[in-house]
Amino acid sequence: MGIGTMARKEKATIYVTSTYLTESSVMPQLEGLEEVHFEVELVQFTQVRDMLGDGRLIKRRVVDGSGEFPMDCPLHDSLLRVHYKGMLLDEPKSVFYDTQIDNDGEPLEFCSGEGLVPEGFEMCVRLMLPGEKSIVTCPPDFAYDKFPRPVNVPEGAHVRWEIELLGFEVPKDWTGLTFKEIMEEADKIKNTGNRLFKEGKFELAKAKYEKLLREYNHVHPQDDEEGKIFANSRSSLHLNVAACYQKMGEYRKSIEACNKVLDANPVHVKALYRRGMSYMLGGDFDDAKNDFEKMVTVDKSSEPDATAALVKLKQKEQEIEKKARKQFKGLFDKKPGEISEVGMESKNGGDTAGSGEAVTSRDRDGSGKSSPPSAESDHAFDEEKPGLIGRIWPSARRIFSSLGLNRCTIL
C-alpha cells in the first residue's frame, strides 16, 4: 500500500504496525512484532492496467510518455497518430501488420470514437500519453471477432499489439467562436454520427449526438433567428438519439428522447412519428395509434406516412394476436377444470372436436350469442374443480367420474 503512493526514484521509510503485517515471503516470521520500519527506494516500475477488470485485456507501459496521466491522454474523441505492430499472442513471430513495413513507414491516423480500429485497441490508446509505448494483449471479442479481420488472423484469435502514440489533435475548442462557426463545427460532428448510423454503429453514433447535446448546454443564441436555428438543431439531435435507441431495441429510452422534443414543441410531427414507432415496437399499441392519428391533425401533408404507420400497426397487432392464439390454442376449448388434461389428451392423440362442440352447445344459444353466466353455472364450476388426485394424476379423475364420484377427499 505504501509503495503504491511512491514516485519513481523516491526513497521513503514506511512504518507498518502489527495490524497490517500480513504473511509474505518478505516477512516469514511475524510473531511478537508490534511495528516494522521498511526503508524503500522505488527504482523502476512498469504500469500494468487491467482494462476490463477480468484479466483479459491488459495494457503494459514499456516506455513512458510526456505529460501528466490522465489529463494529457486523448480521453476525448481526437485525431490520433500511432505506430503499431500486431501479432498472434501464442505466436510472437507471426506479425500480421506493422506500420513501419506495411504502411511505408507512415503512422496510422484515425479518429477515435468512430469504430475505425478494434475496440480493445482504441480503449488502450485513449489511456496513453504522447510518446508512450505499450504492449497490449487483447481477447478476440475486443480484437478482430467484431471487426474486419486481417487475412492471416484466424477467428477467435488472441492478439498482441505493440503500440506507440506519436501524438494527437484535440477537437477545436468552441470558446471564442461565433454562432455560425459553432454550428459549422456541430454539423461536422453530426455528419460523422449520421455516417456511423448508416454503417450500423448505433452506439458510436449515439455517443456523437449526445456529445453535441452536452456542448449545446454552453451555447447561447443572441437573437430570434439564431434561437430558431439552434432549437431545430437540438431537436434533430434528440430525434437522432431516439433513432439510435430504437435500433438498439431500447424503446423506453427512445420514447424519453422524443419527449424532450415534444415538451418544447407538442406538435412536432417527426417526434410524434418516431415516438409512435417506438410505442408500437414496444407493444404499446394504443399510445402508438394516438401519435399516428395526431400527426394528421397537426399536419395534413404527413397523412401518407401516418396512414402507412397505422397499417403497419394493425399488422403488428394481428401478428401478436395470432401468436397469442397459437400459444394458448386449446386452452379455452375445455370445460372448467379440464385445463390440466389438455396436454395429456394431445399426447394421446385424443380428438378435441367433441369437447369443442359441447362447449358451443352449452355456452351459446341458438342465435350464436354467448349466454350470460347464472348462479347454477357458478356452482357447477365449483363442482367441476379437480381435487388433489385429479391434479397429481389427471386420468384418475375420469375413473372416479365413471363411478359417479366427482370429488375424492383424502383424510
Place of cell 489529463: 71
Which of 18-32, 46-60, 280-294 is predicted least confidently? Answer: 18-32
pLDDT at 382: 41
pLDDT digits 0-9 by tens, 191-205 = 999 999 999 999 999
pLDDT at 130: 97
CA-to-CA dists, residue 199 to 31, 193, 202, 259, angstroms:
65, 10, 8, 26
Three-class SS state of 285? helix
Average pLDDT, whole number, for the chain? 84
Q: Let me know: does 207 contact 73? Beta carbons within 8 Å.
A: no
- 196 inside domain: yes
- As for how many domains the chain has, the answer is 3
- 368 inside domain: no
Residue 257's nearest CA partner among 267, 243, 270 is: 243
Three-class SS state of 240? helix
Q: Let me know: does 115 contact 201? Beta carbons within 8 Å.
A: yes
Which of 27-31, 197-201, 279-283, 306-310 is predicted least confidently? Answer: 27-31
| Residue 162 grid cell | 505493440
Tell me the C-alpha distance between 65 and 60, whole Å.
Answer: 13
Positive/negative CA dihedral, 54, 59, 64, 70: negative
Q: Look up the CATH number of the domain holding residue 312.
A: 1.25.40.10
- 342 inside domain: no
Query: Residue 383: which pLDDT band, with cuts at 50, 70 and 90?
Result: very low
Q: What is the DSSP string of 158-202?
A: -EEEEEEEEEEEPPPP-TT--HHHHHHHHHHHHHHHHHHHHTT-H
Would you say the pTM of this structure is higher than 0.85? no
- 371 inside domain: no
* pLDDT, average across residues 281-293: 96
In sequence order, what are the residues at sequence separation of 6 or more whose Cβ sits closer than 8 angstroms to the Cβ of residue 214? none
Among candidate residues 289, 318, 347, the one where a domain is terminated: 318
pLDDT of 39 over the 50 cut: yes
Query: Both ends of the chain: CA-CA distance in Å?
Result: 70
pLDDT at 173: 87
pLDDT at 368: 43
Q: Let me know: does 139 contact 57? Beta carbons within 8 Å.
A: yes
| Residue 254 grid cell | 427512445
pLDDT digits 0-9 by tens, 216-272 = 999 999 999 999 999 999 999 999 999 999 999 999 999 999 999 999 999 999 999
* pLDDT, average across residues 388-396: 48
pLDDT digits 0-9 by tens, 123-182 = 999 999 999 999 999 999 999 999 999 999 999 999 999 999 999 998 888 988 999 999
If asked whether residues 189 and 211 sit together in one domain, one would say yes
* Residues spanned by the domain of 156: 48-169
* pLDDT, average across residues 72-91: 94
